[in-house]
Amino acid sequence: MDEQQTEILAQLWQLLVRGGADRRSPMHTPVVASVDADGLPQARVMVLRKADPATASLRFHTDARSPKVTELDGRPVAVLAYHPGENIQLRLGGTARIETDTEDADAVWHQSTLFARRCYLALQPPGTRLLAPASGLPAEIEGQQPTADQIAPARPSFALLKVAVTSIDWLHLANSGHRRARFAQSPQGWAAEWLAP
């Protein structure tokens, strides 16, 4: 990697770290894409909870019963984020892993607010057909903050989605000329090459 590429890699991880920590960052809600059982692309917005440059990993939270869990566990994943202020698009590629009953999943579950955990109380798995529009939450919980006792049965539905990032396509838009680079993990660390935008 040349000096400029090293700087770009550090800066893009900074944007991702900020995205994981700051809900006002446009990188807080990237698009996560998988491939379904029919080979069709499936993309959805997810909240980025944490980005760690040291391990080149991202963390998301999801319902363990949702279709994306089987589509993603141990499989390739694409994550797309755009920062309008910086004019930077990031297309990340990597491998996804789902964690439900690890120490880490337990720790994150207990750190989350009761409100944040409430959606995991939904009676039907995400994507279940309903006869009428509804949240799927038990009636006594709807619109309320659940108690610690009420939230306990939701724990098996909570999963971490971890992404081991192996490639990053960085695109910077500028009137003076767009720039694009691809970063890829190699046994020696990150390697980079410039691409035509």
Ligand X SMILES: Cc1cc2nc3c(=O)[nH]c(=O)nc-3n(C[C@H](O)[C@H](O)[C@H](O)COP(=O)(O)O)c2cc1C
Interface contacts to ligand X, rule CB under 6 A: 29, 42, 44-47, 60-63, 66-68, 126-127
CA angle 35, 89, 47 (to 5 degrees): 60
What's the closest the beta carbon of residue 21 comes to ligand X, in angstroms?
A: 15
Nearer to ligand X by C-beta: 1 or 137? 137
Q: Are 64 and 158 in contact (CB under 8 A)?
A: yes
What's the closest the beta carbon of residue 184 comes to ligand X, in angstroms?
A: 27
What's the closest the beta carbon of residue 127 comes to ligand X, in angstroms?
A: 5
Nearer to ligand X by C-beta: 60 or 170? 60
What's the closest the beta carbon of residue 118 comes to ligand X, in angstroms?
A: 13
Nearer to ligand X by C-beta: 65 or 179? 65
Q: Are 158 and 117 in contact (CB under 8 A)?
A: yes
Nearer to ligand X by C-beta: 53 or 126? 126
Q: Tell me, what DSSP letter sits at residue 152?
A: G
User: Judging by beta carbons within 10 Å of its beta carbon (0-12, 13-18, 19+), is residue 24 exposed, middle or buried?
Assistant: exposed
Q: Which of 65, 40, 185, 60 is nearest to 123 (CA)?
A: 65
User: Judging by beta carbons within 10 Å of its beta carbon (0-12, 13-18, 19+), is residue 47 exposed, middle or buried?
Assistant: middle
Nearer to ligand X by C-beta: 5 or 157? 157
What's the closest the beta carbon of residue 8 comes to ligand X, in angstroms?
A: 27
